Chains A and B, each alone.
Chain A
Amino acid sequence: MPILHTRAERLDRAVDALLAGSPVAPPVDPGLRPLVDLAAALRGALLPVPAGSRLEARLAARLATRSPLGDGMRAFRERATRELRSRDRLLLAGAVSSAAVGVGVTAYAVWHRSALRRS
């Protein structure tokens, strides 16, 4: 839709100018003028809604007192989740763990047998 795209771009630029508070130049396409007027009416009607002072104070206190321990735990949890999400890493970790357990059991069996022989 190349024509619509071009008109959409021109309208967007006019809205940019409107929001910046600069005088909006008449669009080349007169068909856009009603839309630019409507955009101006919308901007005038959609008033900003300020947050209450209680919310401001409460949230400021919460943001200021966020515990570093909580941050650390969150970072650990996110990292663990990331690690576990990787199937290859999970398989590798499993293989290394199994091998470590195998080596440990074998070492214990060898030690146990030699201890029995000595006694």
Chain B
Amino acid sequence: MRQPDRAASPDDPRVDPDLDAVRAAQADRAAFATLYRRYLDRVYGYAFYQLGDHHDAEDATERTFMAALAALGGFRDTGSTFRAWLFRIAHNTIANAHRSRARRPTIALPDGWDRPAAEADPARLVGRGEELREVLRLIDQLPEDRRQVVLLRFVDELTSREIGIVLDRSEGAVRVLLHRALRELAARVAEDRLA
């Protein structure tokens, strides 16, 4: 694999923290388990927030990791991090799932929310269910690209640069989308308060 042509500094956000694990997995497929365990919840969470359904999210998660393992040999750290690469696969997998359902679902909470959260602290989730439902209703009203940016930024904590790789946009374009999304959400919150 080509060595990165940049200075490796721990403070450099461009340095991929997963690179050692990726190289190990490229040499020995069994080592992919490290990356799988590291990102399973995050990929599942991304799929769940996008698809709004527990079973569809599980299916998309499985497809994402199987595709990632199959393509791992081709991953190069030239401008992309592993997690941006992985979320791009997840994004495409979820887009296919949307196409196969031939409609864009509203993010549904109650059914899907209880099941995957069964191992989490139920009291905490029950208390926040109403707040989360309201937030998701507002996010669901955003244009698709802004909605994607909000979920990738706040659920999966990707950087704007990584989101740009996932959505095939420039870093600057993602920043502008995030700014517009937050302005729009703020306006909607203000409208709801007045109503």
Q: Do A and B come from one complex?
A: yes
- B123 proximal to A (CB < 8 A): no
Query: Which stretch of A46-54, A83-91, A93-101, A110-118 is in the interface?
Result: A46-54
Contact with B along A2-16 (1 / 0, CB 8 A): 001101110110011
Contact with A along B168-195 (1 / 0, CB 8 A): 0000100110110011011001000000
Task: List residues of A (1-55) whose CB comes within 8 Å of B's CBs.
Answer: 1, 4-5, 7-9, 11-12, 15-16, 19, 34-35, 38-39, 41-43, 45-53, 55
- A42 contacts B135, CB within 8 Å? yes
Bound complex: CA A77 to CA B132 (Å):
45
- A62 proximal to B (CB < 8 A): yes
Bound complex: CA A114 to CA B112 (Å):
81
Please count how many residues in chain B sit with their CB below 8 Å of the partner chain's CB atoms.
49
Query: Which stretch of B14-22, B82-90, B149-157 is in the interface?
Result: B149-157
- A35 contacts B179, CB within 8 Å? yes
Q: What secondary structure prevails in chain A residues at the interface with B?
A: helix
- B115 proximal to A (CB < 8 A): yes
Residues of A within 8 A of B61 (CB): 51, 55, 59
List the count of A-B residue pairs having beta carbons below 8 Å apart. Answer: 121
- A5 contacts B176, CB within 8 Å? yes
Residues of A within 8 A of B135 (CB): 41-42, 45-46
Bound complex: CA A59 to CA B37 (Å):
10
Contact with A along B153-164 (1 / 0, CB 8 A): 111010110000
Task: List residues of B (5-25) whose CB comes within 8 Å of A's CBs.
Answer: none
- B44 contacts A50, CB within 8 Å? yes
- A43 contacts B154, CB within 8 Å? yes
- B98 proximal to A (CB < 8 A): no
CB-CB nearest in chain A for B134: A45
- A38 contacts B41, CB within 8 Å? no
- B118 contacts A52, CB within 8 Å? yes
Q: Taking each of B32, B58, B176, B182, which has the highest tally of chain A beta carbons within 10 Å of its own beta carbon?
A: B182
- A45 contacts B131, CB within 8 Å? yes
Chain B proximity of A21: nearest CB distance (Å): 11
Residues of A within 8 A of B182 (CB): 11, 35, 38-39
The residue that A52 contacts in the complex, of B66, B115, B128, B179, with Cβ under 8 A, is B115
- A66 proximal to B (CB < 8 A): yes
The residue that B179 contacts in the complex, of A11, A41, A43, with Cβ under 8 A, is A11
Task: List residues of A (44-79) whose CB comes within 8 Å of B's CBs.
Answer: 45-53, 55-56, 58-60, 62-64, 66, 71, 74
25 contacts between A and B (CB under 8 A): A8-B178, A11-B175, A12-B160, A12-B179, A15-B153, A16-B159, A19-B157, A35-B183, A35-B186, A38-B182, A41-B135, A43-B154, A45-B135, A46-B49, A46-B154, A47-B128, A48-B155, A50-B117, A50-B120, A52-B116, A55-B40, A55-B61, A62-B66, A63-B65, A66-B70
